[in-house]
Amino acid sequence: MLDMASAREAFEASDDFTVGLEEEFAILDPGTRSLVQRFEELSQAAQADEPLAASISGELIGSEIEIRSGRGEGFADALARQRDGRSRLFRLAADSGALLGSTGTHPWSPWQEQRIIDTEHYRRLEDELRYVAWRNNTFSLHVHVGVRGPDRAMDVCDRLRPLLPELLAISANSPFLDGCDSGLQSARTQIFTKSFPRCGVPDAYGSFAAYADYVDFLVRTRSIAEHTQIWWSVRPHHVFGTVEVRICDAQSRAEESDALAGLITACVAQAAIDHDEGVPHDPPPGRLIEENLWRAVRYGLGGRMIDLERGEDYPAAALPDRLMAWTAPARAALGIEPTLPDENGAQRQRRALDGGASLEEVYAAELDLTRDSYAEEVRT
């Protein structure tokens, strides 16, 4: 049974702007660059490295591995922890003859060949979702930010709802799926966010009590058994007392992942600052946010987004500057200065494809970026 009183207590005891980072990597065969089922093997090998063993986790399929920073006192601390975990993971993979990838989807490995890992949580997930779980061979970046106060945390979630498509557009990094160009910038979002139940853009709850009523309804109707079955793209984490942002594709380069995580942290903190300062906020209806979500999925930074307050569209390429301007107070307070790239990973990959490279060559180049950017961390 889910204990919402304990969840409320977690937020009452939470510390503002602590940070936790989670990154999901594909496990690949170095020769074919296809997904390979080696999570259990790598997890067992990691037991010889105690810090790494405490940092890695399974995530649905046997060809995926997640690295977690744990609780950082701030963004810099969490990033230092994450970089250490990454270096240990990449060193382990190299020693084990495995390759790690970091795009939102694998370009060609069939979902039918993947295997759900054998844990109670994922056995339940497979039993309940079947094809929806089997099809979800995706990789993402999650950022947890501590927010003190249950009602305050819910208001932060409400304020972040319209920003979810904007963060997705910046992070889009999954144009290829099933051996072809999907025509989308984030195929991952289409096969995960648009398929899983209780996923995507949540309702605006207005208070923790309203959210607790919703969770009680799900439990009472036997819809969920644990709070992690609520897969909203922004959600309150019942145990950590954090606001968790889950909308973004995995990033091919460590620098891109770091910058995106910094921006997300600043967005959560700025939403909390706006709440504290009484900045007015009228939560837009989900149907309007969904228009921008589709634009982010389809066109990413290459299209146009809608300013929901003005009812006007504008070039999506302006999104990084717009979010940097809004988060300036939070970034100054927290010492976060992310350097966002001019194009997202999907644009980079499709530009290479349009230039005559094969899909296999494009993916190989992305894997080189991943290896080289994380290898720098390994060497240091």
296-351 confidence digits (pLDDT tens): 999 999 999 999 999 999 999 999 999 999 999 999 999 999 999 999 999 999 99
- What Cα–Cα distance (Å) separates residue 26 from each residue in 11, 74, 378? 33, 28, 18
How far apart are alpha carbons 12 and 148 in whole angstroms? 6
Residue 286 burial by Cβ neighbours in a 10 Å radius (0-12, 13-18, 19+): middle
**Model confidence at 374, in pLDDT bands (50, 70, 90)?**
confident
Residue 316 is given by DSSP the state G
Please tell me the distance from the alpha carbon of residue 370 to that of residue 350, in angstroms, as a whole number: 17
pLDDT digits (tens, 9 = 90+) for 254-294: 999 999 999 999 999 999 999 999 999 999 999 999 999 99
> Would the pLDDT of 1 be above 80?
no
pLDDT at residue 378 above 50? no
**Residues 44-52, mean pLDDT to the nearest whole number:** 95
What percent of the chain lies above the pLDDT cut of 70? 98
Q: What is the C-alpha to C-alpha distance for residues 76 and 275, in angstroms, rounded to an integer? A: 24
Residue 380 has pLDDT above 80, yes or no: no
Residue 377: pLDDT over 70: no
pLDDT (tens digit, 9 = 90+) per residue, 209-265? 999 999 999 999 999 999 999 999 999 999 999 999 999 999 999 999 999 999 999
Residue with more model confidence, 185 or 374: 185
Asked whether the predicted pLDDT for residue 2 surpasses 90, the reply is no
List helix spans (H) across the chain.
4-12, 39-45, 50-55, 75-95, 120-129, 131-135, 150-160, 164-171, 187-191, 208-220, 254-276, 286-299, 319-326, 328-334, 345-354, 359-379
Measured distance CA(237)–CA(11) in Å, rounded = 9
| DSSP assignments along 253-303, one per residue | SHHHHHHHHHHHHHHHHHHHHHHHTT----PPPHHHHHHHHHHHHHHGGGS
- Tell me what pLDDT residue 170 has: 98
Q: Which residues make beta-bridge pairs with 243? A: 145, 236
As a whole number of angstroms, the distance between CA 85 and CA 78 comes to 11
DSSP state of 342: S
Mean pLDDT confidence for 144-172: 98
List, in order of start, the domains of the chain with CATH numbers: 4-379 (3.30.590.20)
b (16+ CB within 10 A) / e for 27-65: bbeeeebbbbebbeebbebbeeeeebeebbebbbbbbbb
Pairing of strands 56-59, 19-28: unpaired
Mean pLDDT of the chain: 96
